[in-house]
Amino acid sequence: KSTLKGNTFLIWKGGEVSDFELTLQYKIVDSEGKGEGFGNSGIQYRSKIIDPAAFVVGGYQADFEIGKTYSGILYEEKGRGILAQRGQKVVIHEGGKESVDKKGNKKTAPNIEVTGSVGESADIQAVIHQGDWNEYKIIAKGGHLQHFINGTQTIDVTDETAVGDKSGVLALQIHVGAPFTVQFKDIKLNATK
What distance in Å separates the CA atoms of residue 67 and residue 125, rounded to the nearest whole number? 10
Chain segment 114-156, per-residue pLDDT in tens: 999 999 999 999 999 999 999 999 999 999 999 999 999 999 9
Domain assignment of residue 2, yes or no: no
Structural domains in the chain (count): 1
Domain assignment of residue 72, yes or no: yes
> Would you say residue 192 has pLDDT above 90?
no
User: 43 is in which domain, residue-wise?
Assistant: 8-187
Element (H, E) at 80: none
Chain segment 11-50, per-residue pLDDT in tens: 999 999 999 999 999 999 988 877 788 889 999 999 999 9
Residues 6+ apart with CB under 8 A from 2: none
* CA torsion through residues 160, 93, 107, 5, sign: negative
Q: What is the CATH number of the domain that holds 57?
A: 2.60.120.560
End-to-end CA distance of the chain: 42
Residues 6+ apart with CB under 8 A from 156: 84, 88, 89, 90, 116, 118, 144, 145, 146
Other Cβ atoms closer than 10 A to 147: 28
Are the CB atoms for 79 and 46 separated by under 8 Å? no
Lowest pLDDT segment from 135-139, 151-155, 159-163, 175-179: 175-179
Domain assignment of residue 138, yes or no: yes
Output helix, strand, coil percentages for the chain, rounded to the nearest 5.
5, 60, 40
pTM (two decimals):
0.93
Residues 6+ apart with CB under 8 A from 4: 174, 175, 176, 177
* pLDDT attached to residue 7: 86
